[in-house]
Amino acid sequence: MWRATVLTIFPEMFPGPLGASLAGKASANGLWSLETVDVRDFTTDRHRSVDDTPAGGGAGMIMRADVLGRAIDAVTGDGRPRLLMSARGRPLNQAWVRELVQGPGVVAVCGRFEGVDERVITGRGLVEVSIGDYVLAGGELAAMVLIDACVRLIPGVMGKECSAADESFSLGLIEYPQFTRPQVWEGLAIPQVLTSGDHGKVDSWRRAEAERLTRERRPDLWAVYQAHPLPALPRKPPPYPPPLAGEGRVGVRGRVGRGKGSPKR
């Protein structure tokens, strides 16, 4: 089972969104587990203080190394990476998420205030992780983002009908546009190629659109992709199911609409 342990001074924030939708169902089915550790439980004063003024002066407060160190030490050392959610950390990307999913789980430390004493970062081998170039009030939301990104890739979480193979970033490109019923909405029609039944043309269109969007919106990814492009599409399309008649033919994912037993939208 993939395990996530979160160290925080606000354990009541969890599971939050991780207890709903795919992540919540997967947890209930035993595919992953979430544990929270209240850092304040490792304080020694009656005020349960976890922070103090910065050495050298300056604004704000800093999380103490001794308190946070004891909290980290209380988590079982089972080979899981110790991650500190930090705006100055290594940017989280899909490749790193896939790497984390292959392991036993993560220990996510949520900083607060102006930061964490550098000595606990080096002393406990914390790897700093950033989810973007902006600053949050604390690491809890960032930890939820990281865990959600990992959990959805655990085998069995998304189900047989879902695949992460052609999602944004999985192949070095952002995802192509998606369409579904109705066939025409407010005068806008589904691109004809997606209802043609020609799966080779569908694949080519999707590749071209993914490349176009990546080039326009993410020049950083486009530069990497140009250096290492995807292989050419196969001449013969894979044996997809035959297209449905009428407006249901919207691409290689097959039937559009609710499956048997699916809830109404």
Per-residue HEC secondary structure of 116-175 comes to ECHHHHHHCCCEEEECCCCCCCECHHHHHHHHHHHHCCCCCCCCCCCCCCCCCCCCCCCC
Distance CA 173, CA 63 (A): 39
Is residue 129 within 8 A of residue 146, CB to CB? The reply is yes
pLDDT above 70 coverage of the chain, percent:
84
pLDDT tens across the length of the chain (265 residues): 999 999 999 999 999 999 999 999 999 999 999 999 999 999 999 999 999 999 999 999 999 999 999 999 999 889 999 999 999 999 999 999 999 999 999 999 999 999 999 999 999 999 999 999 999 999 999 999 999 999 999 999 997 544 555 566 767 899 999 999 999 999 999 999 999 999 999 999 999 999 999 999 999 999 999 998 877 776 544 444 444 444 433 333 333 344 444 444 4
Question: Global pTM?
Answer: 0.82
What is residue 163's predicted lDDT score, i.e. its pLDDT?
53
Dump the DSSP string for 192-208. GGGGS--HHHHHHHHHH
Which of 148, 114, 107 lies closest to 131, judged by CA?
Answer: 148
Cβ atoms of residues 47 and 72 within 8 Å: no
pLDDT computed for residue 245 by the predictor: 41
In whole angstroms, give the CA distance from residue 42 to residue 37: 10
Query: What confidence score (pLDDT) does residue 254 get?
Result: 37
How far is 117 from 66, CA to CA, in rounded Å?
9
Distance CA 176, CA 62 (A): 44
Nearest C-alpha neighbor of 232 from the set 213, 212, 204, 252: 204
- Pair of tokens at residue 135: 């600053």
- Kindly report whether the peptide bond that precedes residue 15 is cis, defined as omega within 30 degrees of 0: yes
- What is the token pair recorded at 58? 């300056």
Task: Tokens for 143, please give them.
Answer: 């930890």
The residue type found at 218 is R
